[in-house]
Amino acid sequence: MILVFCELKDGQLRKPSAEALSEGRRLADAGGKPLGALFVGASCAGAADAAKYGADVILTAEGGTLASYSSDAFAQVVADAVKAKGATVLLAAATAVGKDVAPRAAARLAAGYASDVTSLSIVDGKLQAVRPVYAGKAFATTSFASAVQVATTRPNVFPAAEKAGAGAPEALAAPAGDFKSVVKEILAKAGGKVDLSEANVIVSGGRGMKDGANFKLLEEFADAIGGVVGASRAAVDAGWGLPHSMQVGQTGKVVSPTLYIACGISGAIQHIAGMSGSKFIVAINKDPEAPIFKLASYGIVGDLFEVVPELTKAAKAMGIGSN
């Protein structure tokens, strides 16, 4: 079996999980194996959605002890499910939870692990993964020595393709409790916006923004086209009050949106490493020699303080905004 650890948000299958399931379905078909979806939590209502993405079996470990996320408890449940079903491949989306639970479960299973993969295949009956290293400056093909193979899939890379599966439900036991760590409080959630790593459209600002307050211009433009705002390391480190969670680059988030619009970003190697996986790149910069233009699908040499408000205006006039 190919088993996919899935996450629900407000009773709905999260998009990165749907992507992981779709890729799991493709691998299951290639290897002639069944696809299992695994849900863990106090309530797994909504788990049936996994059938839309091809799950043959939907496993749920439900219980009060699993109401709050616990790294050790979830890893135990996941590893136990892999063993119980004799799964050879375990996938999860490379989300905050996926990246926390998958390596721990892998160690429990004495399994090799490939994180944040952008391509998967079955070679000689075993999983093979391609993943960005050096934040995308290179790609490593990873092969596995272990019987069980674990990988997390990078959000926004694998298409979520609907394909009906049987979705036979199966309940698993929840552990009794007394965990080593547990989440006791969810703090600030950025106003309903999606995280940079999941965003389809990103509008990013760099040193050329001159001040943190000027990011309002980018917010307005991003709102008009349904995007999320990011920043370069230069901007985050400039003391403008921008949180590190906004940072795109080798020491920040590595993103792969459909569209990345770089405003006042020169294109330092460490920044390019974090966004070169974007499908389309737009560069807006005063300096025609800025290295970012070498990557750009579309370039505008100009003053971003003039260009960005015009873009916001034009986007509203054209009725762009649903992505």
Partner 1 sequence: MKILVALKQVPDTESRIKVAADGRSLDPADVKWITSPYDEYALEEAIRIKEAKGAEVVALSVGTDAAKDVLRNALALGADTAVLLKGDGQGDAFAVAQMIAAYVKDRGFDLILCGNKGLGGDNAAMGPMLAELLGVAQANVVVKLELGDGTFTAERETDGGSELVAGALPAVITAQKGLNEPRYASLKGIMAAKKKTIEELDAAPAVAGAQVSALALPPERPAGRKLEGEPAAQAQALLQALKDEAKVF
User: 164: buried, middle or exposed (CB in 10 Å: 19+, 13-18, 0-12)?
Assistant: exposed
Closer by beta carbon to partner 1, 55 or else 127: 127
Closer by beta carbon to partner 1, 138 or else 168: 138
Nearest approach, Cβ of residue 141 and partner 1 (Å)? 4
Nearest approach, Cβ of residue 56 and partner 1 (Å)? 27
Helix (H) or strand (E) holding 3: strand 2-6
SS3 assignment, position 101:
helix
CA end-to-end span of the chain, whole Å?
35
Closer by beta carbon to partner 1, 32 or else 189: 189
Out of 33, 43, 84, 108, point to the residue binding partner 1 (CB under 8 A).
108
Of the candidate spans 36-44, 84-92, 110-118, 205-213, the one that interacts with partner 1 by CB under 8 A turns out to be: 110-118
Would you state the structure tokens that stand for residue 229, as one six-digit string?
């705002």
Binding status of residue 42 toward partner 1 by CB under 8 A: no
Binding status of residue 81 toward partner 1 by CB under 8 A: no
Out of 43, 48, 139, 163, point to the residue binding partner 1 (CB under 8 A).
139
Of the candidate spans 19-27, 29-37, 39-47, 104-112, the one that interacts with partner 1 by CB under 8 A turns out to be: 104-112
Q: In the window 219-238, what residues touch partner 1 (CB under 8 A)? A: 225
Closer by beta carbon to partner 1, 33 or else 104: 104
Out of 125, 187, 239, 289, point to the residue binding partner 1 (CB under 8 A).
187
Tokens 């986007």 belong to residue = 315
Report how far apart, in Å, the C-alpha atoms of 319 and of each of 201, 309, 313, 315 are: 16, 15, 10, 6
Nearest to 117 by CA among 104, 105, 127: 127
Q: Are strands 89-93 and 149-153 parallel, antiparallel or unpaired?
A: parallel
Number of residues this chain uses to bind partner 1 (CB under 8 A): 101
Closer by beta carbon to partner 1, 33 or else 108: 108
Closer by beta carbon to partner 1, 216 or else 279: 279
Binding status of residue 23 toward partner 1 by CB under 8 A: no
Q: In the 8-state DSSP scheme, what is residue 193?
A: P
Neighbouring C-alpha atoms within 13 Å toward the C-beta of 128 = 9
- Nearest-angstrom CA–CA distance, 171 and 254: 36
Binding status of residue 143 toward partner 1 by CB under 8 A: yes
Would you state the structure tokens that stand for residue 131, as one six-digit string?
């993943």
